[in-house]
Amino acid sequence: MSILAALNVYHDDDSSRCAAMNMAIDEGLLERAEIPSIRFYRWGHAALSFGYFGRFADVANYAARRDLVRRWTGGGIVSHGDDLTYSIVIPANDAAFSESTMSIYEKVHRALRDALGSNSPELATVAAVCDCRIQINSAVADRRYNDCFANPVRADVMVNGRKVAGAAQRCTRAGLLHQGSIQHVDLGNGLAERFASELSDRCSPKFLDERVIERAQEIAAQKYGTVAWLQKR
């Protein structure tokens, strides 16, 4: 059963956007959303995003090689460049917003699991997460290590014991922002379209309009593109 009654689908093919602008567009869509939306985007350059509560000191060494940005959502470190990144916005006036964030997280990943299909994906269980973390902790001496794709959490998407999709969320009065990354699987062959169709039976293709882009440019200049935001912790 679809989790969203209707869904606007944005295929953002502009791979030249900097990391700050990509985060700002997601926030801009959250501000303006009237019905749920999903935005798919790829990266034309190496980038790295890290969670709102993350420490800049843990990613500073990547600055010379990757475009760094602090997300508004939580979670760990995610490398971008070879992944398919997506953001889902659920406005506060939508029925799905009344569900718990964990419930939405799991349902979104169930939809992605079904879209992946032939890869035999599964959702991470509590037991699998604990086992994976034991292995990581025994192999990694630096306990600050927090690569998101090396540390699955409950309901992340796994293929053959490897995490292939994770996400982070931010809940505001305007609605819910769910930002996710899909890696280590075939990202073509209509995956994005199947994923959107699993989320809703009523998908409508949309294009980012100038008002969203202009608002995102303001947000990027005031927030995601600033040193104060990047290094706030």
- Would you please indicate which residues are annotated as catalytic (active-site) residues? 148
The answer to whether 123 and 155 have CB atoms below 8 angstroms apart is yes
Residues in contact with 130: Cβ distance below 8 Å, sequence separation at least 6, in sequence order: none
Sheet strands (E) in 103-208:
122-123, 157-159, 162-171, 175-182, 203-206
The answer to whether 136 and 151 have CB atoms below 8 angstroms apart is yes
Backbone φ, ψ for residue 197 (5° rounding): -70, -30
What does the alpha-carbon distance between residue 122 and residue 208 come to, in Å, rounded to a whole number? 33
Strands 84-91 and 37-41: antiparallel
What does the alpha-carbon distance between residue 183 and residue 163 come to, in Å, rounded to a whole number? 8
